[in-house]
Structure 1
Amino acid sequence: MVWYELTKLLRTRALFVMLTVFLGFNAYFIISHSYLQEEVQAANDMVDWYGPTFTDESLEQMETDLMEEVQSISPGEEALADFFEDGRDRSIYDAEQDRRLNITYTYLLFAKHGVEAFKGYDPEVLKGQVSENYQLGSMGSSIEQVNINRATERYHEIMATEEHKAWYFLEGSSINTLLFKDLFTFVCMQLIILSVYTVALIVGYERDAKTELTILATKQGRPLLYKKLLAAFIGVSALIFTILGMTLLVYFTVFNYANVWQAPLTNVFTLRMDGPAIHWFSMSFLEYLLYVIVLVFLSSYVIAGATFAATIWIPQTYVAAVAVLVLFLNLIALPFIGVFPGEVMFLSMFNPMYVLFNLGAITEVSSSPMGLREFVFITLGIWLTISMLVVWRSSRFYMIKDVKA
């Protein structure tokens, strides 16, 4: 019977149209940014030439070797900056050597700058931000102090293990934001729409077709709702697999991350205005990608649960779907509406939309609520619990409510 419920999706032309449009748009977006392949290849090349990690000593040796090569090309050069910043005769060496020299010099500068930025980092910069921005008083100060203590511990761990000294994409590179910020924003919007549509379609199918009373008179009766619930979540899972699977397949076909999979997210090449971008957890790029995918699944299930409940409580299926979409899309803007007290503003950030649309920085240490180490676990833990409760309560309600023709 669950399979029969799923066939309703397969017979829905609108769903396939949306799926085709979304996948086509994602592919177009990725291919239109293929000019960034050089930035990815530069990071891969640095790993090929110098290994996945570096030390202060290896940077000094790299600078020495680079200087020797520059002097062999242009005798008399006394500083690397003079060679790379002044006009130089490229006819005396080939284009591949010119590319390698430029990449190496650029990475050398960024690496040295990043190492110094990490050495000068002070977790105390987090102090005062929460209590002042959200007017939380002593509670805000307590939250800040716990955050600072944990950030200090994490910082000392990074410096001790030299986790941050690994080749990655350059600071300010567009490839840094293309996947987790730009592409995943589109994907999450698409999954919100598809999740709501899928659940509403399955749960409200008989009601919209005016056959609900007929179904209730059969042996299946009202318990059919539980099969609909299972089918709805299977359908949502299948759509997530399809959208994410096809989109990421195209992305990693266009952009070859061969040598970057194991690079740590906390590294000297991801700096922010106020210092290094330190992540709470020691994750490689691949581990972080898998973590983000899990967050997308869990957040989508929260939305699916809310849609299931709304479709039962609201007589018109399309009204229920629109209501859920409006609710969750408004949650995106809620933390930025300055008409609420500071406590409300602070708590409003603990919502699944804030997780979905900040996937690129969801584990970073910062002074915002999102920068708290347990932010994701608290947010999704609360909302998944709420989702399960409303699903349970709605199912109970459906078992006793009057159904009219």
Structure 2
Amino acid sequence: MKRLLMVAGLVACLGLPAQAEVLRSEREDFRVRVLSEGLVHPWALAFLPDGRMLVSERPGRLRLLAADGRLDPRPVAGVPAVAASGQGGLLDVVLHPDFAANGWIYLSYAAAGEGGVGTEVVRGRWVSDAAGHRLEDLRVIYRQRPKSSGGQHFGSRLVFDRDGFLHISQRDRGTMARAQQLDDLAGKQVRLHDDGRVPADNPWRGVAGAHPEIFSVGHRNIQGAALHPVSGALWTHEHGPQGGDEINIVRKGRNYGWPVITYGVNYVIGTKIGVGTHREGLEQPLYQWTPSIAPSGMAFYVGERFPAWRGNLFVGALKYQMLVRLELDGERVVHEERLLSGREGRIRDVRQGPDGLIYLLTDAPDGKLLRLEPTR
């Protein structure tokens, strides 16, 4: 005991990190390491090929972190002005699939313009040299139309599919009916070429009055998106109202029902929304949470560091401050486990790193970058 106390005292005196507590899940034991603190409402995480990381902060800053989590005090220059109000601000950040050759980085964000505020996507070329870190050659490749007032439901997650198309999630901006209107981009999943051009086979291209960018309709509030590691299908999750958070596979030309069908109800008064939970021609979710967990961030785990978790889907949750682990059988969720409940704060983003570990961002004025590590 005396020796243990001496070692503990030496660790404290030298400022060495204490060994994190071992946490036990049903299939893996792990520790949570805090890599970085002091992030202001971090929203999304992306890994650069050299091991460094980019983190978007909702107030409008893009931050660069070393592989060990050390935060560069200088924000990345060249980020466009954002409308940082309510749920709006700087949102997702992703690298082009051929980033090593072209250096393109994509940002989604809320932007002000004619008629109010709406989701936009910009592409910029990454430059990191002795003068600093910046985005150059910026070009807005997508603007949600029409813009509108209000500070809620902007989205937005960005995912490149295996054919190189860019998928952009849109929220309904707080007005339910917009999700079903083809002359309105709110409440839609959008698919574009990497430079913003509309693909020739988008399902509503050529339909009178419809926006050709639309890939699917009837979405309320998508905050997580990831490609299935085997099928390549785009899986998403979205917030329901009071209940009815959903996981869906987003397919071309499908209607996901909001607000005609939902497993949720109106806030406070608890009354039914639409016609109920089913209607012919409208998609059913693969999985739903009632009561709501407020999902945000999503990643399939395919690494080697947690072998018993391979093939599982991980979803962050703002409510209950937890990480949800889902076991799958094809396109069915067969088991759910809830991890970290109430321990680390609101989980905003979930990513698997190139090292095979799981990284999390917590949504707070003093947000953190966390890493889940195996105990062996």
Report the TM-score, using the length of structure 1 for normalisation: 0.21
**Structure with the largest fraction of strand:** 2
**Structure with the largest fraction of helix:** 1
The higher radius of gyration belongs to 1
Report the TM-score, using the length of structure 2 for normalisation: 0.22
Higher RCO (C-alpha under 8 Å, 6+ residues apart): 1
